Chain A
Amino acid sequence: MALVMKKHAMPEQDPQVRAHNFNEVALGYDRETAIAEASRCLNCPKPRCVQGCPVQVKIPNFIAKVKSGDFADAIGIIKESNALPAVCGRVCPQENQCEKYCVMGVRGEPVGIGRLERFAADYDLKKPHEIKPIKYAADTQKVAVVGSGPAGLSAAGELAKKGYKVTVFEALHKAGGVLSYGIPEFRLPKEKIVQVEIANLKKLGVEIRLDTVIGKLYTVDELMQEEGFAAVFVSTGAGLPSFMHIPGENLNGVYSANEFLTRCNLMKAYKFPEYHTPLKVGKTVAVVGGGNVAMDAARTSLRLGAEHVYIVYRRSEKELPARLEEVHHAKDEGIDFKLLNNPVEVIGDENGNVKALRCIKMQLGEPDASGRRRPIPIEGSEFELPVETVVVAIGQGPNPLVQSTTPDMHTNKRGNIVADEATGATTKAGVFAGGDIVTGAATVILAMGAGKKAAQAIDEYLKKKA
């Protein structure tokens, strides 16, 4: 049988239609397409794809089960390694991970591993099934997880399966971290996917305490000394927004991407006034930055009614850090990419509202320390882009709340927690850390990998101590 060199296409909402609704853009494979795509897998004896997956899902094994139509077995295999497959199948940058290493990709397109993982996970989520809670002995050790984002949830799931009583402490009123407040509904449905995955963790026996800010309501020391936790995993993410520090940044209409997306995703401002949190979006919007967060903010702006949305990015298309698929989606929806441009000032009107973004054109020079070509301003090329809203999506740093109240847990000069790469162990005994709070802003799956590794290390630490 001849090899099918191209991935089976996944149906998508029409760009003209979807640019005005918050429903999921990618619609997922049906059974037949999933089986056909699974049949493209060559079932390599030494699968390279697995090496590309940060949590080492047994990819050929689960794909073989999809191929034979044994979907329940497929999801069982995935879940041995991945606590949130419906999430990862959707938001992982597979082109840089599993699919990058797929042999099929050498001559044609790699197997759609992410799409198949998503298919299996969605099949599983639709099926009602009972999750048996873990039965705990009276002397079961307690582990605290600080932050309920991907790293925390993954660690919590692993630790619960290892028999520990896990309590996750979350500062916001909903669990999920970036899955709940950051990634928009049209890429990752909240009620259908995120909250179901979290509910399953709770059914397993993981307790989630919302509205609890560690560093304020409890310190890490209090968790260990007064609340009886034998170990703590800190996974507070990269939630501190960076601003550009240019004139006019405090004008009305300038948002950090975190605020913009939190209002929309977590507070459901897109359903205002049914939901009471407002969000103002002008007819013309500039989103500054080129990562996934920038794409999310730009595409959200369109859906909130903006007529023209710019991405303003200081490098060229090749350097855009966002997922390829999201850049394509953004372009199809009509986002206008102003590449090689850098904002120098936000200009306001007499009422303190944004009326323009002053930018300077850039050219690329020699590669810098990160290996990317350094953008250099072209003198005298400044111009004004008339906009009513500016969303700043140029990155996030670590929130210092936990570190500043835990002095014996060391941080580096950027404020990230210093942790052993293999175990997540910090400089404080019994405290582990992982995810963006250690690495700086990265991906969902890397955070989950870190959570999984730390869970293993915490298990070993507690067994050794006992």
Chain B
Amino acid sequence: MYKILKKELLSPKVWLYDIEAPQIAKKAQPGQFLIVRTDEEGERIPLTIADFDRAKGTVSIVFQEVGAGTEVLGQLNEGDDILDVVAPLGKKTHIEKGMGTVVCIGGGIGVAPIYPIARGMHQVGNKVISIMGAKNKEILILEKQMRAVSDEVLVTTDDGSYGIKGFVTNALQQIIDRGEKIDEVIAIGPVVMMRSVVEATRPYKIKTVVSLNPIMVDGTGMCGGCRVQVGDEIKFACVDGPEFDGHLVDFKGLMSRQRMYKDMEKIESDHVCKLSTVKGEL
């Protein structure tokens, strides 16, 4: 059992939880993920580790209520326990001194997992330019935190309500166009966003790392449910990733596999809705 010490609403339906887990906090590294299961009937949900505090013994997750599993998770409160937390999983982000200028791109709630990466890059002395994208100003998250660990921050909103109007790729193009020498781009967010970033950097041959989020079950390499085509090879995102060279990833295949259970998710969500109504009446 893992206690929720803090619950904070970052934007509508987007929650940040600090979870008490000292050993995980001790071991977690930027780029890694965890798996939670809320209750006996629950699924195993993979979530990127958004932050960790080794001194306090906590790890943070940021998630959006998008389906039955995350809806149940969102109903928990401070002081409640999460039944299972498995971590740290996956490989850590490659962070070292002297990598040069790194552009960290977070789209939507992808800003949460990009934050410890930007912080890590900044701590070892790399130049960090961060790009944060959101649909509009209201749902932009963690801006203050990102500014604290970046040399420069560019914000984009789809509707132009804040920062640059457009997508993260518009901001990236601005940086490229002004002649900034970029040594590496790291992008985390919706698959369409990561694919656009990869296509934006491909002509310039800028190394681009993406963090993939395929469907997972165990997260330890025993089932291959999360397999993705990377170059000529089939990789398991949970153990070989989740970060890969974006220029080699088969995004079409990834998106197709992500859609696999769409119809069943609807049935599940309706089921959970009914359950919470019943609970509400009691």
Interface residue tally of chain B, by bracket?
A: 35 or more
Q: B84: nearest residue on chain A (CB-CB)? A: A173
A-B contact pairs, 8 of them (CB 8 A): A173-B83, A173-B86, A213-B86, A249-B234, A255-B225, A262-B218, A276-B72, A280-B264
Smallest CB-CB separation from A210: which chain B residue?
B84
Q: Counting CB contacts under 8 A, is B100 at the interface?
A: no
List, in ascending order, chain B residues with CB within 8 A of A256's CB: 223-225
Do A276 and B268 form a contact, CB below 8 Å, given A213-B220, A249-B234, A262-B217?
Answer: yes
Known: A210-B84, A277-B43. A352 touches B224 (CB 8 A): no
B interface footprint on A220-246 (CB within 8 Å = 1, 0 otherwise):
000000000000000000011101010
The reply on A376 being an interface residue by CB < 8 A is no
A325 to B229, CA, bound (A): 39
Closest to A251 in B: B256
A379 within 8 Å of B (CB atoms): no
Encode B14-30 as 1/0 by CB contact (under 8 A) with A: 00000000011001000
Q: Across the interface, which residues of B come within 8 angstroms of A280, CB to CB? A: 260-261, 264
Tell whether B31 is near chain A: CB-to-CB under 8 Å: no
Check if A276 sits within 8 Å of B222, measured CB to CB. no
Which of A172, A216, A262, A276 gathers the greatest number of chain B CB atoms within 10 Å?
Answer: A276
The answer to whether A272 touches B264, judged by C-beta atoms less than 8 angstroms apart, is: yes
* Contact, CB under 8 Å: A172 / B24: no
Partner of B259, one of A251, A252, A272: A252
A125 at the A/B interface (Cβ < 8 Å)? no
Q: When the two chains form their complex, are residues B260 and A274 in contact, meaning their CB atoms are under 8 A apart?
A: no
A277 — nearest CB in chain B belongs to which residue?
Answer: B43
State which of A213, A216, A243, A276 has its C-beta within 8 Å of the C-beta of B42. Answer: A276
Q: Is B147 an interface residue (CB 8 A)?
A: no
Check A259 against B224 for contact (C-beta < 8 Å). yes
B271 touches A273 (CB 8 A): yes
Cβ distance B236 to chain A, nearest Cβ, rounded Å: 9
Once the chains are docked, how many angstroms separate the CA of A400 from the CA of B72? 34
> With a CB–CB cut-off of 8 A, which chain B residues contact A217?
23-24, 27, 87-88
Indicate if A13 sits at the interface (CB-CB under 8 A). no
Residues in B neighbouring A258, C-beta threshold 8 A: 222-224
Chain A residues with Cβ below 8 Å from B253 are 250, 352
Q: Is A211 located at the chain interface by the 8 A CB criterion?
A: yes
Cβ of B213 to closest chain A Cβ, rounded Å: 16
Q: With A240-B221, A262-B223, A267-B44 given, can you name 16 additional A-B contacts, CB distance below 8 Å?
A: A171-B218, A173-B37, A213-B220, A217-B23, A239-B220, A239-B221, A240-B222, A241-B222, A249-B234, A259-B217, A267-B217, A268-B41, A276-B268, A278-B268, A280-B260, A351-B256
Contact of A278 (CB < 8 Å), options: B221, B228, B257, B265: B265
Task: Return chain B residues, CB-CB under 8 Å to A268.
Answer: 41
Q: Does B268 contact A273, Cβ atoms closer than 8 Å?
A: yes
Q: Does A21 contact B (CB under 8 A)?
A: no
CB distance from B196 to the nearest CB of A (A): 21
Q: How far is the CB of A100 from chain B (nearest CB, A)?
A: 32
Is A263 in contact with chain B by the CB < 8 A criterion? yes
Residues on B with beta carbons closer than 8 Å to the beta carbon of A218: 23
List of A residues within 8 angstroms of B248 by Cβ: none
A259 and B268 CA atoms in complex are apart in Å by: 20
Q: Determine the chain A residues whose CB is within 8 A of the CB of B87 once the complex forms.
A: 216-217
Contact bitstring B248-269, A, C-beta under 8 A = 1, else 0: 0010010011011100110110
- Cβ of B69 within 8 Å of any chain A Cβ, yes or no, is yes
- How many angstroms between the C-alpha atoms of A267 and B23 in the bound complex? 26
Query: Is there an interface contact between B220 and A401, defined as CB atoms closer than 8 Å?
Result: yes
